[in-house]
Structure 1
Amino acid sequence: MSVPVPSIGFVDSHTEGEPTRVLLDGLPELRGATIRARASALETDYPGLRAALIDEPRGCAAMVGALLVPPCESSSAAAAVFVNNVGQLPMCVHACVGIARTLVHCGRMPDQPWGRTLVLETVAGEVGLELEADGYVAVRNVPSYRLHRGVELSTSRGIVRGDVAWGGNWFLIVEDSPVAVAAEQLASLHAFTRELRAALELAGVRGDDGAPIDHVQLCGPSELADSRNFVLCPGGEHDRSACGTGTSARLACLYADGRLALGQRWRQQSITGSVFIGSIDELDASGRPQPTIRGRAWVTAEGRLLFDPRDPLGGLA
């Protein structure tokens, strides 16, 4: 006898090398009047859903999922809850670029410059999406800022100094990495950023409201851009793109130090060689910079995730 198999529609894409899975339909209704409340309901009401959507065997550790849900405000085009291999993310710029390209692919947006900014609700705040004439998607991110400057951490490579900054997620940013920011140094970069994250925890360095500093960004020189970075993500994977929230946090630090002017473009190269183009085009009402990150995404797959109730890794329960 056949057994009904629940399914959830998805579109996969990559943004400058970093994968995104947009979940479109078949999702359970998340209770709550705000996107923060709905994100909380995802964890409390459906504790196995996040892993079932993006972890193995249906996904991979480097993937970020974007659950598209109805917006809470009539002025918004959509709302998204971002998830990774270990939990939720308040914000994800590369996934926002993937959402925009997915909306075009699905026929929900024209495949031409929109001429307007679409508002997307996220846990970190409202962000703007705009499709540009050259195929790039411009993401107007949440206001970003540096919380701590020149934090000193004791490591196996001596004292390392870095800034703690917010760009939609929390980052430690080390400007002059003692490990070469190069693809052939991946193992060393992973080991050192994990060491730095442990040192932050040991030193009790936190973000606002006691939030953990769960991303670490090492920066070095680039022959093709203004800088090259390596970003360790919360679940232990590295970002294949230049990390949009990390670039936003970096721009906020550069602006605070007088090294980046309003409207000046900054090309941030990733460890894989791809590039995001960032700028600070405006300040919010409190004077904090509001970065815009430009990147490209390509659709790689679409279909339905199947959750056979007989499958021990079905995951929907």
Structure 2
Amino acid sequence: MDWISKIPGIETSFTTIDSHTMGEPTRIVVEGFPELEGKTMIEKKKFLEKNYDKYRTALMLEPRGHRDMFGAVITKPVHPEADYGVIFMDSGGCLNMCGHGSIGTATVLVETGMVEVKEPYTEVTLEAPAGLIRTTIKVENGKAVEVTIRNVPAFLYKEAVTAEIEGYGPITFDISFGGSFFALVNADKLGLDIVPENLREFQDLGMALLNKINATMEIQHPELDINSVDLVEFYGDSTQEEANLKNVVIFGAAQADRSPCGTGTSAKVAALYSKGRLGLNEDFIYESITGSLFRGKAVETTKVGTYDAIVPKITGSAYITGINQVIIDKDDPLKYGFLMGD
């Protein structure tokens, strides 16, 4: 039955397919979002931010979402080699790239038949504002078992930067690009174990550091219109024998990534390779605060402007959790969403 046509007063509606990648959600809008104008994916992202941010907040925030919701909008691509364009979003805004979101999107495209599926491997190319994301999906009996993404070039941007944070004093960190700019902070040196019990402190410190960096430091990608640090990645000793390190990533409106963060893994691999602590094609296993794992490695070297860079590959799995018809009632005073607390 066509339930939507029977409901009065609808401003608009969206079809979304929800998934999670190693614990981190991705709500993927497959129908209903207005067409996004732009000659590049960065222009499409800016068009969304200027004209349709109300729909981002409606989809990500309460009562339909929550502070830690994550999503993506499927668009027409710009690059001729791409199958789909994708713009990622969270409770705080839109992002240039997302690893877990790419894994979730590729899984949804395969399992819903939105791309031609081949076994044992299906190739899907996504185009994000940060560039082309080439994905290889391992398929068994129509199911996406595992996704490997070949990310955009990643590089260590600044090493051993220090910022003064009230209540903590000077904090030293690296800034590394893995699709977005990350501040990489050693949590062990702060005396903080990466466990759920310490999450609120990571959120408070992460947001304070983000705000300080973007208010006081000049950040500029040498080739793309990306000029801010969007995420703080705290890392420390792993709790699983097979993992090299453990992390928690803070971003958006004090969101905490439940997965090991694909772009964050890319940024960390780039930093480790730059410092001579990880070799080419050497596996790096990253554990999340929930205990889930991503496998990453640098597969080749390249240049981004004057920066030495690597091309990272990240492997993980995603699972579809629901198919939704999201409705916005034109008379609803909270139709574009809200957040509670800080």
Does TM, normalized by the shorter one, top 0.5?
yes
Report SS of the residue matched to 1:288: strand
Deviates most, 170-179 or 188-197: 188-197
Question: In the TM superposition, what are the counterparts of 1:179-190 in structure 2 within 5 Å?
Answer: 179-190=192-203
Q: What is residue 101 of structure 1 aligned with on the other side?
A: 107
Shift of 1:21: 0.4
Q: What is residue 3 of structure 2 aligned with on the other side?
A: none
Contact 1:147 1:207 in 2 (8 A): no
Task: Tell me if 1:293 matches 2:304.
Answer: no
Shift of 1:114: 5.6
Task: Tell me if 1:221 matches 2:237.
Answer: yes
Task: Tell me if 1:261 matches 2:282.
Answer: no
Deviates most, 59-68 or 126-135: 126-135
Shift of 1:133: 5.5
Q: What is residue 204 of structure 2 aligned with on the other side?
A: 191
Question: In the TM superposition, what are the counterparts of 1:146-165 in structure 2 within 5 Å?
Answer: 146-155=156-165, 156-165=167-176
**Structure 2 letter corresponding to 1:197:** L
Contact 1:19 1:64 in 2 (8 A): yes
Shift of 1:119: 1.4
Task: Tell me if 1:72 matches 2:78.
Answer: yes
Aligned-residue RMSD, C-alpha = 2.2
Cα distance in 1 between the residues matched to 2:217 and 2:87? 27
Report SS of the residue matched to 2:8: coil
Question: In the TM superposition, what are the counterparts of 1:1-317 in structure 2 within 5 Å?
Answer: 3=8, 5=10, 6-109=12-115, 113=119, 115=121, 117-132=123-138, 135-155=145-165, 156-177=167-188, 178=190, 179-201=192-214, 204-208=216-220, 211-224=227-240, 225-284=243-302, 287-315=308-336
Report SS of the residue matched to 2:325: strand
**1:43-83 CA distance string (max 9 Å, x none):** 22324111112211111221221100111233211001111
Shift of 1:113: 4.2
Contact 1:242 1:270 in 2 (8 A): yes
TM-score (norm 2): 0.85
**Structure 2 letter corresponding to 1:315:** Y
Contact 2:204 2:254 in 1 (8 A): no
Contact 2:106 2:124 in 1 (8 A): no
Shift of 1:4: 5.5
**1:189-217 CA distance string (max 9 Å, x none):** 22332343344346x12421682323111
Report SS of the residue matched to 1:117: strand
Cα distance in 1 between the residues matched to 2:7 and 2:326? 18
Q: Judging changes above 3 Å, is the alpha-carbon distance between structure 1 residues 133 and 26 closer, same or farther for their aligned structure 2 residues? A: closer
Cα distance in 2 between the residues matched to 1:49 and 1:31? 16
Cα distance in 2 between the residues matched to 1:163 and 1:47? 31
Contact 1:92 1:245 in 2 (8 A): yes
Cα distance in 2 between the residues matched to 1:8 and 1:59? 14
Gaps of 5+ in 1: none
Contact 1:9 1:304 in 2 (8 A): yes
Shift of 1:252: 0.5
Contact 2:258 2:290 in 1 (8 A): yes
**Structure 2 letter corresponding to 1:151:** V
Q: Judging changes above 3 Å, is the alpha-carbon distance between structure 1 residues 41 and 198 closer, same or farther for their aligned structure 2 residues? A: closer
Report SS of the residue matched to 1:254: helix
**Structure 2 letter corresponding to 1:293:** I
Report SS of the residue matched to 2:28: strand
Cα distance in 2 between the residues matched to 1:223 and 1:315? 40
Cα distance in 2 between the residues matched to 1:73 and 1:234? 28
Q: Judging changes above 3 Å, is the alpha-carbon distance between structure 1 residues 7 and 182 closer, same or farther for their aligned structure 2 residues? A: same
Cα distance in 1 between the residues matched to 2:211 and 2:49? 26
Gaps of 5+ in 2: 1-5, 338-342
Shift of 1:85: 0.8
